[in-house]
Structure 1
Amino acid sequence: MKKFLKIFGVLLLILLVYLRLAIYPQLDLISGFSAKSVASGHFIDGRSLEIIQKNDNDIDKIDWATNTIDDSGKFVTSNVHGLKDRKAIYREGLGVTLINNDFDTTKPYEFPKRNFIKTDLPFPYGDKEQNDTVFANIDYAKLNAAVANAFDKKGEKNKRTRSVIVIYKDKIIAEKYANGIDKNSKILGWSMTKSITATYFGILQKQGKIDIMKPAPIDEWQNDERKKITINDLLHMNSGLEWEEKYDKICDATKMLFIEEDMTKSQINKPFVGKPNNSWNYSSGTTNLLSGILRKQFKTHQEYLDFWYNSLFDKIGMNSALVEVDMAGNFVGSSYGWATTRDWGKFGLLYLHKGNWNGEQIFDESWAKYVATPTNTSNGKYGGQFWLNAGGRFPNAPKDMYYASGYQGQMVVIFPSHDLVIVRMGLSEEFDFNGLLSGVVGSIRN
């Protein structure tokens, strides 16, 4: 018995040491993710705690968290078995921000001034439903089968698709939603927000207010070799700076999203591990640095906030769109953009039409070519904050397609050669994207 107890004691000690060293440091991230997710899903899209925990937070370890919603105070608190309390607050116009104990929730704040343009035009240029249109060159049975196959059958939880919309020649030719989701549901795009952030550089470039080929305006880099990094390098994720992006562990990306007060600074202090334009490395820190550079283009914080809406979202009728901010008031351009599936589709159409929206040129045609051109050392898979199929990642889809992509399989896909946009929103990346994309394209005879 004594020998057994001794062995048991040693094993227990090993377990406790493991929990302290390996698990305890993760609790900040677990409760932080959970609080942010619950608050955003509830206050932005009106989802219940039960639905969020069953769907959005049904992630390994994240489901350890206990969450409490305060509707009157508009905040959520989360912890893991009573440990590591985290709080996320909702503010109208700014969305949800994960805060620390030093954050002053009573301080007045500025928020974007929206200009919702309503017209009598049908989708995508207005609020009316489109007229029924039947294209003779579309095999609708094949199209609908490809879309239906993207969704789980009753009782299954494998594909976890929330919505799919197919837009051909500016007409919705297929649209389907999972139970509990509809055309008015606002869905987090995660890293599709990176493509939105890049778009503002295209808009400023058209306005003659920025030159992306010039060195990035970062004071901390001016006395070392990093001063050679251009905005172009940052847009291409090709700065040569160190960064780790793995969401299943404590890393640069997770510490930035769930701990940092000012996310625009996370990449700034990183050293070189490569060379500019010769060391492609995917980095959410880089995109948030770009958000910080955008902020520097304006004299006031209010101008920065308004620009994200009046130069893009409100111009193209993305009235549901919202990008959330960090504790320092920066838009989290890497990850926290929300919109309905139809509005995500409008973003894709803007690029399909090379920046032209119903006659108004939002950015130059050359910008669409720029973001869809492979950057050096990415093996044809990345451009300017957009992913590409030039390297053949999806073998049965057109090589000229490019797309915004986000965690858990969010996609806005642009097919220039087919006058086509496909949006898929979901809760899992374990999904046959090649099958969906090739199935839809295959249903259209050019």
Structure 2
Amino acid sequence: MKLFYFLSFCLLGFSGCSSDETTTPTVTEKMYYPPLTGTTWETQSMTSLGWNQNAVQPLKDYLIQKNTKSFIILVNGRIVMEEYFNGHDANSVWYWASAGKTLTATLTGIAQQEGKLNINHKVSTYLGTGWTSETAAKEDLITCKHLLSMSSGLDDEYNADLVDPANLIYKADAGTRWAYDNVYVKLQDVVTEATGQTWNTYFNTKLRDKIGMSTNGFWVNTNDGLRIYWSNTRSMARFGLLALNKGKWNGEQILNETFFNEATSTSQNINLGYGYLWWLNGKASYHLPGSQLQFNGSIIPSGPNDMFMALGKNDQKIYVVPSKKMVVIRMGDAADKVNLALSDFDDVLWQKINALFP
């Protein structure tokens, strides 16, 4: 339950479906992938799923109350619910914040499968020495996998948002401490150096265009050295659908399944609820951003145990639930404008979603 407060700091019904062109599938069990271009996206009715339509309005009321701009539920790739609020629509773009970390993990995996890099190699293999303020011996301990798993050992308390060498300071040996910080962004530099392509070019050709994410998406460079992705909500849903299918899109393996399975499994033995820049529900314990405490139980108690998640600042969400063949997307402003010591937004949201199911 305590996750929701800490995540606020991270660089972290059915009648509303607004597909411009939709068709009703005849075989609902088969996975559907929307075309790479155009606005066609098949829908699935709640009635055909046997869902409780009386639970739709309470869910919508909660989303509106909690400053939501857009919300999508996919089942087997088809839109079951698509809602926009507060002037937001299907063409509006919004930031992913730290939910976009999973884009970086995916691009890193693609570069590895192409033989451009190896996540077990030290970061300095690609960036050269002196990319931190550590001694050469300590810096050499940090591999790309440590950046993927948030276990670099770099200080997360002193100017943790900044990723220039002066602010990447030794705290512990790599692999011995889990701490949520922004040093993961150095993986984008690793991919750039390893592939010989700009980050934007590699992202667009290897991921965005492969799954039909809208070309109106873009990366914004921030003053503290980060890149934040902005897109429409359906582009986020497309990425969630790729994740639901373990890196495969309509028969093409965009990201190999071995890497994807690693990315969505516990990546180290400190924070069981963290993979490669993905959060994992249903584990025996978890750690939180900004804390070295261990909390027992699942991150989102009301959420499915097999759910994995991309979580970003101000409650940008991608929830992927393999057991239900479901993807849930939420974009918007912070659920609670006044950040209290505890926030139950995710847990209550999943209580509302669960009420839909028979």
Per the shorter chain, which TM-score range? Answer: 0.7 to 0.9
Q: Measure, in 1, the Cα distance between the counterparts of 2:148 and 2:166.
A: 15
SS in structure 2 at match of 1:224 = helix
Could you tell me how far 1:142 is from its partner in structure 2? 4.7
Does the Cα contact within 8 Å between 2:33 and 2:249 map onto a contact in 1? no
Structure 1 residue runs of 5 or longer lacking an equivalent are 1-119, 153-157, 246-250, 257-264
The equivalent residue for 1:204 is 111
* 1:386 matched to 2:275: no
- Structure 1 CA distance, aligned partners of 2:325 and 2:247? 14
8 Å CA contact 2:95–2:230 kept in 1: the answer is yes
* Residue 103 (structure 1) aligns with: none
Q: CA RMSD in A?
A: 2.8
CA contact 2:151–2:177 (8 Å) conserved in 1: yes
Paired with 2:104 and 2:166, the residues of 1 have a C-alpha distance of 18
Q: Out of 234, 237, 244, which is 2:147 matched to?
A: 234
Correspondence 1:219 to 2:147: no
Look up the equivalent residue of 1:277 and give its one-letter code: G
**Whole-Å separation in 2 of the counterparts to 1:427 and 1:188:** 10
> Are the counterparts in 1 of residues 34 and 42 from structure 2 also a CA contact under 8 Å?
no
Corresponding residue number in structure 2 for 1:281: 179
Query: Aligned AA for 1:311?
Result: K
Partner of 1:107: none
Which amino acid in structure 2 is aligned with residue 360 of structure 1? E
1:149 to 61, 71, 90: 61
1:221-300 correspondence runs (5 A): 223-244=136-157, 251-253=159-161, 256=162, 265-266=163-164, 270-284=168-182, 286-299=183-196
Q: How far apart, in 2, do the equivalents of 1:143 and 1:369 lie?
A: 33
Deviation at 1:143, TM superposition (A): 5.0
Matched with 1:444 is: 357
CA gap of 1:310–1:368, structure 2 versus 1, over 3 A, is same
CA shift for structure 1 position 407: 0.6
Q: TM-score, normalised by structure 1?
A: 0.62
| Alpha carbons of structure 1 residues 317 and 146: separation in structure 2 relative to 1, 3 Å | farther
Corresponding residue for 2:301? 395
Question: What amino acid is aligned across from residue 35 of structure 2 in structure 1?
Answer: Y
Question: Does the CA-based 8 Å contact 1:241-1:274 persist in structure 2?
Answer: yes
Q: Which residue of 2 aligns with 1:321?
A: 217
Q: Distance in 2 between matches of 1:212 and 1:417?
A: 29
Deviation at 1:161, TM superposition (A): 1.1
Secondary structure of the residue aligned to 2:91 is coil
Query: Which structure has the larger Rg over C-alpha atoms?
Result: 1
Q: Give yes or no for the alignment of 1:360 onto 2:252.
A: yes
Instruction: Spell out, residue by residue over 1:249-289, the C-alpha distance to the aligned partner (whole angstroms, 9 max, x if none).
Output: xx431xx3xxxxxxxx52575232122222000011x1221
Alignment-mate amino acid for residue 217 of structure 2: A
Whole-Å Cα distance in 2 between the matches of residues 326 and 353 of structure 1? 32
Instruction: Name the counterpart of 1:137.
Output: 49
Deviation, structure 1 residue 123: 6.2
Residue 374 of structure 1 pairs with residue 266 of structure 2? yes
Identical positions, percent: 27
Q: Which runs of 5+ in 2 are unaligned?
A: 1-21, 24-31, 286-297, 337-343
Deviation at 1:299, TM superposition (A): 3.1
Give aligned pairs, total. Answer: 301
Specify the code of the residue in structure 2 equivalent to 1:297: A
Matched, 1:186 2:186: no
CA distance 1:339–1:378, shift in 2 (3 Å) = farther
Q: Which amino acid aligns with 2:104?
A: T
Do 2:42 and 2:79's aligned partners in 1 also have CA atoms closer than 8 Å?
no
Residues 161 and 327 (structure 1), Cα distance of their counterparts in 2 relative to 1, 3 Å cut: closer
Specify whether residues 143 and 337 from structure 1 end up closer, same or farther in structure 2 by C-alpha distance, changes over 3 A only.
farther
Task: Give 1:125's aligned residue.
Answer: 35
